[in-house]
Amino acid sequence: MTEVSLYCSVGSELHKLDGLWSSITWSGDTKMAYRSVEFTLANTENGKTRKIKPSPGSLVRLKRTSDKKELFRGYVFRTDISTDGTQSFTAYDPNIYLSKSTGSHMFKNKTASQILKVLAIKYGIPTDSIADTKIVLPKLVFRDKSPSDIITIALTETRKRGGERFVVGNNKGKLTLSKVSTANLKYKATTTTNIISGSYSESIEDRKTKVAMTGGDEAKVSASVTSKSASSIKKYGIMQEYENKPDIKDKAKLQKLADALLKQLNVSTQDFSIEVIGNTGFTAGRRLYVEEPMSSRKGYFYIVADSHTFNADGTHTASLTLKRKIELPTESYEAPSENKTSDKWVSSTGKYAAVHYQTGWKATAYAYQLGGINGSKAGITASGTKVKEGRTIAVDPSVIPLGSIVAVYVPSAKQYSGIYLAEDTGGAIKGHKIDIAHNPKGVYDFGIKNIQVSILKQGTGRSDARAKASNWSSERSKVLAKLKSSASSSVSKASYSKADQVVAIGRSFKGKLRYIFGGKNIASGGGDCSGFTYYCFKKIGVNIGHGTSTQLTKGKPVSKLSAQPGDLVFFKNTYRAGVSHVGIVTTPGKFVNLQSSGCKEESYMTGYWAKHYLAIRRVL
């Protein structure tokens, strides 16, 4: 006998599917409001027709066989069938509808639980037990937001005001809200009883042991502070995070922020998961005692994600992701912007005046509900965050580090132009390509678009992406404020203009120059690499000096990932030891240069030049 029984409605008839199903996967995550069931049927008797015909919208129930306790009630959202009659289904509980609609709402002097009830009624979602969140929220205005986002924001604001932590759930098809439980499961997970396998990893790749922070304009710092952990520096070395807060000039306030940021970043990334003999009590949000001696993991852990697999032969296993602290969806409130599209700092097509975009990029779109791009059908990104339309993009981390705040300009579809967070990855997302999170409707119509990209703030990895995602409203507001302020800077505009000019001058010589070692007379049709760069910059009124060694001292260093058109890119050990070649960055990853085979535009990210890459300097 199998541990569970599966039921599915077809029209007015309810079918018990035991004997037809070969496997069932029942899963959930504390960062998601809904649970899912995926199952596979051998749905034919004669190899020609289906035995039963469930379709999207069919009601599905999963019950424990021993006591008939209902574990899941939801609706089929997707089905696939093959020619041999094998048919797979994906069903979600009704909480999925919290993310399927958008609207505009205003709530004044309401608690989060009151807001949830209003939304449930409006969008036709039945409710069961709704805990009182107690904290009254003064005024919240939402435009084009899903009920799921609104509830997440309301619960986040409740916690910010000293309220308790609450988790959204579903019981027999009805929406619930309950306090995060500190109660412990009576069951345990140990290697001597029920743990089949386990995996634990710990990384300091994203850890920071020191924070340097400045206040006021970066060009004219008003205050400067540092926060560091002596013990962590002794153990791991100095790994510094730098941030500028243009709107804060008070040193004491700046120090407080730096201390808080260090506390947030001075942690190692830990991932702990186990596979156990199945127990239906092992579900997300519950606390489980675990003993795994190989990784030295011992004590109580929250189950933050669970995936149970039931097989027709009666076996049941569960994969559990464990954390010392529970992980909940988080999003801070941001009042809707009143900016008009006529504002000079942002065009009607969503292009920001103060941003120097890089051309040569491509964009596609993806919807995690259709399978995702990193293997997560639950909408969990490579950073561990929940995919969010209008915020999430997938990137190649070797080009755009995870955690980066990125401006994207889509000339052919202005609705996608805006500010995004690099928090996901994908096997097909390589080089100068991004994938924009999209709702399933119309994702295939997006196609491939030519776009322009600018890294506004370089990220430091997965933990940085998680931190920014949890406070995205605030992060985005600060970026927009800075862009608006920078748009009025004539110096900034002049710099961008010179960069465009020097790139255009360099490109104008492609295929037209002879290489002459030590030659500086580019105007006469020949010269060497540094003579070429010297000439191009001199044409725009900037003297960078002669020779690669001299030019390497000009400007300020810039990482390869932050390169912009007009930067100088240097190479080493080509025909001599040390710096030996130079060119001008034209687009991310490409540069124009004069070499023995003539003036060319090539990639410095791959092949010969990648092996000899030395540095990038910004002189404009």
DSSP states of 414-480: GGG-EEEEEEE--TT--SSEEEEE--STTHHHH--EEEEEEEEE---SHHHHHHHHHTHHHHHHHHH
Q: Which of 159, 168, 103 shows the shortest CA–CA distance to 134?
A: 159
d(CA 105, CA 143): 7
Last residue of a domain, one of 72, 92, 112: 92
Does 154 lie in the same domain as 88? no
Does 503 lie in the same domain as 587? yes
Longest dimension (CA), the chain: 91
Q: Is residue 342 part of a domain?
A: no
Does 463 lie in the same domain as 510? no
CA-based radius of gyration for the chain: 28
Q: Cα angle vertex 515, ends 509, 521, to 5°?
A: 70
Enclosing domain of residue 470:
358-488
Q: Is residue 390 part of a domain?
A: yes
Q: Is residue 574 part of a domain?
A: yes
Does 470 lie in the same domain as 371? yes
Would you give the distance in Å from CA 75 to the centre of its chain? 28
Q: Are strands 166-171 and 174-179 parallel, antiparallel or unpaired?
A: antiparallel
Q: Which of 124, 166, 119 shows the shortest CA–CA distance to 147?
A: 119
Q: Give residue 341's pLDDT.
A: 38
Does 47 lie in the same domain as 80? yes
| Residue 121 belongs to domain with CATH number | 3.55.50.10
d(CA 340, CA 371): 37
| Residue 558 belongs to domain with CATH number | 3.90.1720.10
Q: Give residue 593's pLDDT.
A: 95
Q: Give residue 372's pLDDT.
A: 57
Tell me the CA distances in angstroms from 475 to 179, 213, 331, 420, 468, one per residue in order: 28, 16, 11, 10, 7
pTM of this structure: 0.58
Q: Cα angle vertex 523, ends 519, 529, to 5°?
A: 40
Q: Is residue 173 part of a domain?
A: yes
420's CB contacts (< 8 A; 6+ apart) are 390, 391, 392, 393, 405, 406, 407, 408, 434, 436
One-letter amino acid at 559 equals S
Q: Is residue 39 part of a domain?
A: yes
Q: Give residue 221's pLDDT.
A: 76
**pLDDT, tens digit, 9 for 90 and up, residues 153-175:** 999 999 988 999 999 999 999 99
One-letter amino acid at 69 equals K
Q: Is residue 308 part of a domain?
A: yes
The tokens of 603 are what? Answer: 């990639």
Does 389 lie in the same domain as 365? yes
Beta bridge partners of 299: 290
Q: Is residue 330 part of a domain?
A: no
Classify residue 237 by burial, with Cβ atoms within 10 Å: 0-12, 13-18, 19+.
exposed
- The rounded mean pLDDT for the chain is 87
Last residue of a domain, one of 163, 179, 195: 179
Does 452 lie in the same domain as 378? yes
Tell me the CA distances in angstroms from 322 to 327, 453, 559, one per residue in order: 10, 37, 36
The Cβ of residue 163 has, within 10 Å, a number of other Cβ atoms equal to: 18
Does 158 lie in the same domain as 116? yes
Q: For 372, phi and psi rounded to 5 degrees?
A: 70, -175
Q: Give residue 494's pLDDT.
A: 44
Does 261 lie in the same domain as 304? no
Q: Give residue 493's pLDDT.
A: 44
Tokens 């009124």, residue? Answer: 541
Give how many domains the chain has, as a whole number: 6
Last residue of a domain, one of 59, 92, 125: 92
Q: Is residue 345 part of a domain?
A: no
Does 188 lie in the same domain as 175? no
Does 77 lie in the same domain as 134? no
Below-50 pLDDT ranges, the chain: 339-343, 489-495
Does 458 lie in the same domain as 396? yes
The tokens of 139 are what? Answer: 């005024």
